[in-house]
Structure 1
Amino acid sequence: MSSARSPIRYPDARSAPVMTKRAWWLVVLNTVLPGSPQVLAGNRKLGRFGLRLTLTVLILGIIAGVAWVLWPQVVLTVFTSTIGLWVAALALAFCAVAWAVLSIDTIRLARLVRTSPKARPIIAGLAVVLMAFTSGTAAYGAYVATTASGFLSSVFSAGPSEPPVDGRYNILLLGGDAGPGRDGLRPDSISVVSIDAKTGQATMIGLPRDLENVPFPADSPLADIYPEGYGAIDGCDVSACMLNSIYTEMELKRPELYPDAAAQASSPGIEAMRDAAQGVTGLSIQYYVLIDMQGFTDLIDALGGVDINVKERLPIGGDEQFNNVDGWVEAGQQHMDGYTALWYGRARHGTSDYDRMARQRVLQEAILKQFNPANVLTKFQAVATAGAQVVKTDVPQGMLGYFVDLASKTKKQPINSVELVPENDVNPEDPDYDYIRSLIDKALAPPASPTPAP
């Protein structure tokens, strides 16, 4: 085909069968190796450029694949950084334009008017479809990269990284429920996830929202105000002196106690909850993640719903006597939209607060299962928009690669749990915090090595 009289470059234009076969070859070659039709049948300078670009993309893809296998954390760090995502977006956009130009030029070189009449629409249609596939895929990749950059920048902070403490990362998880008739958001689901920084082994510590006399670390501004625990002496500045009320009090009554919270991608309420969680658990908490339960509706709908096995029938709305109920979440396996899932996690009447805590954790796990690559990529814009409204955190964007890699290790192991509930001899109205910390220390203690035989 590369000889001086190659039928690709010098075809017999009078022969429709020859021109038809040539057109098929050019369209297929452009898809397999963009730039090759121009080298064989057109502008060789343009063709060499196209080949270099295509081969560069292939080589970079192979390098990225090898790096993913050998050093996944490095690849994740690059592609979760703003710079890395924008470089990828610009490169993909350039490829999309270049491959579109090469495809259009290939259609020109095919000289469809010289092909057999029956083959013309088929060849033209295939060329357009293949151009949409190659250039469209690159263009969509550029779109996802730019959208991801905006999403990550809006959710994650630009602050410094925190080192593990005693070999662990401890993250405060707050499930907030703004709800009608409330003064702002109040965290109804409160947990601390403690993760081994090397193995990824995770332990989930569930803190009841109605814990009383919550202690604070000595360096907390609340330690001087509540030296015997939250509300233990003269009450507090809100209606109920429970764990989740600390958030409301700091946001509405005492925001000046945490003047640097906003600069640290946080808020006075969140920082007070961090201090409270540290006082309860005895752990140093490096980061927090606040998930707005109200915003779950849009996120779940963006993901296409969630599948949950409902243990008992739950009311949507209404009061304790089930008056004015707007509907029911029926028992059994359910595929829920965002509205139904929100009420599954929020429903109060007919069940206890501890049941609601457990349902909210089930809901969070169900949502995480929906975050699979196919689901997220096909609905990326909706997921990113909803996610930016749902999640707030001070985890630095530069730590995402590390935590995603650590999470892959966590998924391979069972997650331990410590629930501070009456079933575990914890009385929220009169808690023994020394006992609570002993439960947590026991759960986090590494398994004892077997004693070697003498």
Structure 2
Amino acid sequence: MTLLAPGSAQVVAGNRRVGMMALRIAGAVVLLVAVAALVGLLWRPFAFWAAFNPTLLGVLRWTLIGLAVGWAFLFMDAWRLGQPLSLQQNQRLAVVGINGVLCLSVAGALIFGAHVVGVQRDFTIAMSSDGAASAAEDGRYNVLLVGGDAGKGRWGLRTDSMTVASIDEETGRTVLISLPRNMTNFPFAEGSVMDKAWPQGYNCGYPDCELNSVNTWVGENRELFKGVEDPGMNATISAVEGITGLKINYWAMVNLEGFKGLVDAVGGVRLNVRQPIPVGLPNEKTFHYIDPGTRTLNGHDTLWFARAREGSDDYSRMARQKCVMNAMLHQVSPKTMLTNFTEIASASSDMVSTNVPSSEFGRFIDLALKARGQKVSTVSLVPPAVDTSDPDIDKIQEMIQKGIDQAEGTAKAAPKKKKPAGQSGMTGGSLGSLSEGYVANQADDLGAAC
């Protein structure tokens, strides 16, 4: 009776007042859960709002703990009401065993639920920003994804990769716009601090004024950024906006070493390995190659697949990084997220720093779920289309707009070029070459290019 209708045993044979109170609480909980589930099924944004509201999660956590304690008390009281001393020894043992299993199972499940809710709350607080939500620009959210080397004191100092994810606010259709870290002689967003410091563009000689050195320059000139919370990211965004012509809504800094933990938490990622990819350095005991073929890689090998330089170049490596992004988007299912939630939350907290407010988490998860069923397009500002030492900004912005228009179906896709005779067709594990460009860097369907 206590398992099916908490409090009913007390109504029949014990303290009726306690029993009625427990039945009312149980009924209210069942009703609230049913209503919340129905609303969540009919209106998905509500489910996402509830999942990322720290206040609600805190209340839910303590509610689950209270229910666990109260239900355990009812089980113990029901055992007392059953007058166990009036039973034979073997019957008493059986009742104690059954009651103990039921009590521990129910209370344990609620306590575990409280733990999961607590993890989700901590994750939300650790990941979110206190800033205000940003509206979409021309129907799209533009999120700057920056990959940085791991280690304290190095966030923002060495940006290994920079990609703008331009996401349609309705459909989730995504265009990945990659910027090479060695680009120089580029403008900053008009009116920004960096624009005032470099009115003629960022050019003080190679390699001191490459795109990935913006954070380093800011670190040496912090007096220009008084009152700015994150000067390095502020300057990087002004550079990206000046180059692409896009307004950046949010940013996310990815700790590449922490990325390994996320891949391991989701059970690895399946990638198409076209050529042997070195893992580690030749002088290391664990040095090996990832053999060609369709491979499910762990976090360590996936990171090396994305970053390996041997037999490659920066632009081939950028193409492999996009293939990893595409694989993570399409392979990490909601089921995987739920079954490995604690590990994923822990890895993500170590991996990502962002200015996305928690109120927007639900929106982007919804867009990600929509994006999983669609193609991902890429536009990369790399040779041969772009001269990274002297970029044509007007041409770059035309390329980006064309890529977005094609993704939205408002422009025709360019005809595919025939592969020149004698071309190897592959460099550093990526289809294409430095002279002809890499397929994954300029693709209307990134999945097919990978």
Q: TM-score under structure 2 normalisation?
A: 0.81
CA distance in 2, matches of 1:247, 1:328: 34
- One-letter amino acid matched to 1:69: L
Q: Which residue of 1 aligns with 2:422?
A: none
Work out whether 1:235 is the aligned partner of 2:205. yes
1:72 aligns with 2:44: yes
Query: Hey, what's the Cα distance between the residues in 2 that align with 1:189 and 1:336?
Result: 21
Q: Which moved more, 1:380-389 or 1:370-379?
A: 370-379
Cα separation, 2, equivalents of 1:129 and 1:350 = 61
Residue 145 of structure 1 aligns with an amino acid whose one-letter code is V
Once superposed, what is the RMSD of the aligned Cα atoms? 2.9
Cα displacement (A) at 1:285: 0.5
Query: Partner of 2:311 in structure 1?
Result: 350
Secondary structure, in 3 states, of the residue corresponding to 1:30?
coil
In structure 1, the partner of 2:439 is none
Does residue 1:328 correspond to 2:288, yes or no? yes
- CA-CA distance at 1:288 after TM superposition: 0.3
Question: Alpha-carbon deviations, 1:295-334, whole Å to 9, x = none?
Answer: 223333444444434332222333xxx5667412422344
Q: Tell me the equivalent position of 1:447.
A: 409
**Equivalent residue in structure 2 for 1:220, among 192, 198, 216:** 192
SS at match of 1:217: coil
Deviation at 1:121, TM superposition (A): 4.4
Q: Is the 8 A contact 1:329 1:340 kept in 2?
A: no
Provide the secondary structure at the position in 1 that maps to 2:251: strand
Cα distance between partner residues in 2 of 1:345 and 1:137 = 40
Distance 2:280 2:160 in 1: 17
Kindly indicate whether the alpha-carbon contact (under 8 Å) linking 1:329 and 1:344 is maintained by their aligned counterparts in 2. Answer: no
Query: Does the 8 Å contact 2:156/2:232 carry over to 1?
Result: no
Q: Is residue 2:352 matched to residue 1:391?
A: yes
Corresponding position of 1:3 = none
Q: C-alpha displacement at 1:291, in angstroms?
A: 0.6
Aligned pair partner of 2:25 in 53, 77, 86:
53
Distance 2:330 2:372 in 1: 11
**Aligned partners of 1:303 and 1:370 also within 8 Å:** no
> Structure 1 CA distance, aligned partners of 2:245 and 2:46?
33
Distance in 1 between the 2:228 and 2:167 partners? 25
Q: Contact 2:85 / 2:92 at 8 angstroms: preserved in 1?
A: yes
Asked if 1:199 corresponds to 2:171, the answer is: yes
In structure 2, the CA distance between the partners of 1:125 and 1:44, relative to structure 1 (3 Å rule), is same
SS of equivalent residue, structure 1 residue 389? helix
Q: 1:259 aligns with which of 211, 221, 226?
A: 226
Alpha-carbon offset, residue 86 of structure 1: 0.9
Q: Would the alpha carbon gap of residues 135 and 362 (structure 1) be closer, same or farther in structure 2, given more than 3 Å must change?
A: farther
- 1:204 aligned counterpart, secondary structure: strand
Q: What's the counterpart of residue 259 of structure 2?
A: 296
What is the distance in 1 between the residues matched to 2:149 and 2:274? Answer: 22
Native 8 Å contact 1:179 1:185 kept in 2: no
Of 246, 253, 261, the match for 1:283: 246
Higher Rg: 1
Of 221-230 and 92-101, more deviation after overlay is shown by: 221-230
C-alpha contact 2:176 2:378 (8 A) present in aligned 1 = yes
How many Å apart are 1:119 and its aligned residue?
5.3
Amino acid at match of 2:244: T
**Compared CA separation, residues 368 and 339, structure 1 to 2 (3 A):** same
Write the distance in 2 (CA, Å) between the matches of 1:165 and 1:90.
40
What is the CA distance between 1:249 and its match in structure 2? 2.2
| Cα displacement string for residues 388-429 of structure 1 (whole angstroms, at most 9, x for unaligned residues) | 221111111122222223333333332222222336x22323
CA contact (8 A) 1:200 1:407 kept: yes
Q: State the distance in 2 between where 1:361 and 1:435 align.
A: 22
Secondary structure in structure 1 of the residue aligned to 2:237:
helix
Percent identity over the alignment? 37
For residues 189-225 of structure 1, the C-alpha deviation after alignment (integer angstroms, 9 at most, x for no partner) is 2111112223322221122222222221211222233
Q: What TM-score does the superposition give when structure 1 sets the normalisation length?
A: 0.81
Question: What letter matches 2:215 in structure 1?
Answer: Y
**Counterpart in 1 of 2:214?**
246
Alignment of 1:145-156 (within 5 A): 145-156=117-128
Counterpart CA distance in 1 for 2:98 and 2:395 is 71
Cα separation, 2, equivalents of 1:146 and 1:181: 29
Partner of 1:209: 181
CA change 1:367–1:166 in 2 (3 A) is: closer
4+ runs deviating over 6 angstroms: 179-184
User: Where do residues 95-110 of structure 1 align in structure 2 (5 Å cutoff)?
Assistant: 95-110=67-82
Gaps of 5+ in 2: 413-450
Kindly state the Cα deviation for residue 43 of structure 1 after the two structures are TM-superposed. 2.3
Residue matched to 2:140: 168
Give the secondary-structure state (helix, strand or coil) at the position aligned to 2:130: coil
Q: Aligned residue pairs: how many?
A: 409
**d(CA) in 2 for partners of 1:353, 1:363:** 15
Contact 1:418 1:440 survives alignment (8 Å):
yes
Query: One-letter code of the match for 2:299?
Result: G
Is the Cα contact below 8 Å between 1:178 and 1:185 reproduced in 2? no
| Distance (whole Å) between structure 1 residues aligned to residue 331 and residue 409 of structure 2 | 33
Write the deviation string for residues 240-294 of structure 1: whole angstroms up to 9, x where unpaired. 42222222322x32233333332xxxx2221111111111111111110111102
Q: In the TM superposition, what whole-angstrom CA distance separates every residue of 1:116-135 from its partner, at most 9, and x where no partner exists?
A: 65555454334333323322
Equivalent position amino acid for 2:72 in 1: A
Q: 1:98-145: CA deviations, max 9, x gaps? A: 111112222333344545655554543343333233222222222222
- SS in structure 1 at match of 2:182: coil
Aligned partner of 1:272 in structure 2 is 235
The question of whether the paired residues in 2 share the 8 Å contact of 1:34 and 1:102 is answered with yes
Q: Which residue of 2 aligns with 1:420?
A: 381
1-side partners of 2:160 and 2:131: how far apart? 27
1:429 equivalent in structure 2:
389
Deviations 1:326-358 (A, max 9, x none): 412422344433333332222211222123223
Hey, what's the Cα distance between the residues in 1 that align with 2:280 and 2:143? 32
Residue aligning to 1:63: 35
